[in-house]
Structure 1
């Protein structure tokens, strides 16, 4: 009995060993087949043919067809089928290689600058061209070296010349100039902003932002001239990005309302943009003030933003800069607190999804203002401002490519009490296009119509004094901004303005046809 058992076990062992050996050979051959197939995808057609010869000589199972590749003794039909399969495989390999090359080229174009994205200033709606759209790019590896230690930067220079083209422009001495372009008006704004990444220390999206700005205007009232801070701020997110915190010396012009057509700092749009927000005390690039901003994101589109900001001087932007040109002073005369709140809905353009931005806001200022209704009375506090605005992409010209290209429309409506503000109402209609032409995918065209309504108290006071006065100023402008090279933009615009001066005018200053020539360079 024992000998029978021994014989049976011996037979079973030899059978098992043979089966295992066969399985190993088949597994080895399958693995080799798969390896050769993957190699064929990545190698030229000649290499694919060579690998096919290897398959034939070794008699390895063909994993593509489910059969075996035999030697030359195989029937002609089988060889034909294998040849067709190989041809199909070669075509597939070519397509895969083509797609891979395209993917690699795309990655080479995008990836080198992706690492700089987290170093761009956070928390604002304004779009300043990124490192990939600057004149210095990453030449010499300087930007990369700074990024490696958490430092990012962006700088720029914007230079504009505005000149009235009408023959009866009412030229005068610069000291008596009443509006931009009455005499040829030149202005330059130069800035540098540096960021430091705090997320490297575990602070969610953490960032420190420091910036400086210098501006000069040939017409002093257009500026005035200054050299000082642009921003000193701390930013971070809380609760998984639901809450955004930004505080320091801020310019809320870039945080609220969205007053720049197209949202890009590179596109200079000619026309009398509303100063209704500035007269209500909102800080801006030329006049940053201490502020604490909080933005609550209800989801990835709905948000509510609030700010507690030190107001600009209630006597206006010119008085603010004259008294505090560096911007470092904690406050200016009679300036107190401005409360701001904005609720909005914003989504970015995506294939088949047009870009949309709806927003509405309110501001309440506790500063002491001069009353236009009772000019001989004491200063009055409790100024306010209200606004609603909308921008919508009407047509996408490159749905499968750059979805933001296309035609947009928008409007803005703003109101401030006429007893405390020179500009009481402001209306704007805008139609603009981004990348309308395939050959110029980064250019912008804008047509903007505006109407600024002056305080009836200010108009009545001017009429009582015997001045010529007007109740509103209307304008229509057209501007083309061309992207000439990385970091280089040029704008050419023309604006017709009816009553270009503030409240009062002369017969020589009834109308203006202002030509704008502007360049913007970023590094």
Structure 2
């Protein structure tokens, strides 16, 4: 997808005066010639000369929290960030690293090729992304922004990844009618736009677990496998919203197949992949003194891709779907300390469904209890307890039993973790996760359960 097309689209919207401040500029009607004969708008000259706060150049439209410039390992090294901000350019880089190891003695698999779950052998993953933003509001486009990013991912267990290098994001964003409507299009990352599956709502302090498996098997893209698409959000009022997307589906055979067919993530199509349509309706209230945080979101999706049929092996069926409901609420907040309304105790739950005839995971349940900044000396730390139940397709279970294999209907887990803000731009997490039936559907008499020690290290610059 060319970056020039969204710019032309934005320019067209400015001329016709759609929404926000652009109509005021269009109403001027007069376009003046400058000294070298080219044309320029008086408002354009004023806006491009205005100073820009680096904090305003973060990625817009996301439903996940990312650290600001002051919470990076290089807030303004050599004044570079401030100088780039004068030209409307911002950036954020990140390295997201996770390590899993089953501490139970029976876990070891002879080779990674024979590995069946995270931690069966020592398992490591590293995702490294660099995002560059460009401010278009200086040209009279309300909240206008272009984002371009590349990324590199490495996994010791390919099924958990897979490893690749290529495009991560290339988007155009703007708002209309005083931010009532938001538009984003390009190569998008819907994992940071919909559902909000990360406990605590922040990428820096997110904890570990299988949350999101149903939406990913349903074709939703993410930073590792971005695909072309468009996002449209209607902010009904200060709290209620409706958000929809149409994106090219990730391969219905999974992310490994997607990367194998589209290594650099720039291809428009891959075999058997169609279009994923997703709509999310929600209510979101940020924490304020004596007004606890609350976020309720419900979504439904339809995917036109051709999926392997679990009920009739060897056949493919067009038209998959999934749905979800997630609720999080702050139960207690630390209001006596100024600016600490977000600190406190939270609880939440998730329920997700996908039809068992087309999906390995049919149901997913999650309950969570977590605390943010419970210690005055550690205001940015978080502790969480997460319980999950992943239910597998009844057709896969039936077929395994008919073939005289051992099979289980679900996999339950309980995870306790602590995330600490170690230094400016550096977050570390330590967790312990017990998993009953850690493999998918089938197992052997020696598989046993898993007690994974989980370590995370996230660095932002």
TM-score w.r.t. length of structure 1? 0.77
Q: How does 1:484-503 map to 2 (within 5 A)?
A: 484-503=422-441
Shift of 1:156: 1.0
In structure 2, the residue corresponding to 1:263 is in which secondary structure?
A: coil
Which one has a bigger Cα radius of gyration? 1
Q: Secondary structure at the match of 1:262?
A: coil
| CA deviations over 1:265-314 (Å, ceiling 9, x no partner) | 11241223341101111111111111110000011110000111111111
* Aligned 8 A contact 1:311 1:335 in 2: yes
Q: Which of 322, 339, 343 lines up with 1:385 in the alignment?
A: 322
Distance in 2 between residues matched to 1:407 and 1:354, nearest whole Å: 10
Cα offsets for 1:460-485 (capped at 9, x unmatched): 11112221111000000011011011
CA distance, structure 1, for counterparts of residue 69 and residue 451 of structure 2: 36
TM-superposed deviation, 1:362: 0.2
| 1:469-488 equivalent positions in 2, closer than 5 A | 469-488=407-426
Deviates more, 1:398-407 or 1:233-242: 398-407
Secondary structure in 1 aligned to 2:150? strand
2:372, 2:383 within 8 Å by CA — same for their partners in 1? yes
- The alignment's C-alpha RMSD in Å is 1.3
Report the equivalent of 2:78: 140
Contact 2:52/2:88 (8 A) holds in 1:
no
Quick check: 1:270–1:478 contact (8 Å CA) kept in 2? no
Output one character per residue of 1:336-373: Cα deviation in whole Å (capped at 9) or x when no partner.
11110000000111111101100100000111111111
Normalising to structure 2: TM-score of the pair?
0.87
SS in 1 for 2:200: helix
- Give the gaps of 5 or more residues in structure 1: 1-112
Q: Distance in 1 between matches of 2:263 and 2:349?
A: 33
Contact 1:164 1:184 in 2 (8 A): yes
Distance in 2 between residues matched to 1:266 and 1:240, nearest whole Å: 30
Is 2:262 aligned against 1:302? no
Give the total of aligned pairs: 410
**Hey, what's the Cα distance between the residues in 1 that align with 2:156 and 2:430?**
20
Tell me what 2:454 maps to. 516
CA distance in 2 between partners of 1:114 and 1:354 (Å): 32
Q: CA deviation at 1:400?
A: 4.2
Moved over 4 A (4+): none
Residue deviations 1:140-182, cap 9 Å, x none? Answer: 1110000000000000112221100011114321110000000
More helix by share: 1
In 2, are the aligned partners of 1:216 and 1:224 still within 8 Å (CA)?
yes
Equivalences for residues 190-339 of structure 1 within 5 A: 190-339=128-277
Name the residue aligned to 1:52.
none
**Unaligned stretches of 5+ residues in structure 2:** 1-50
Give the distance between the partners of 1:359 and 1:434, measured in 2 at CA. 21
User: Which one scores higher on RCO, CA 8 angstroms, separation ≥ 6?
Assistant: 2
Say whether the 8 Å CA contact 2:200–2:206 is kept in structure 1: no
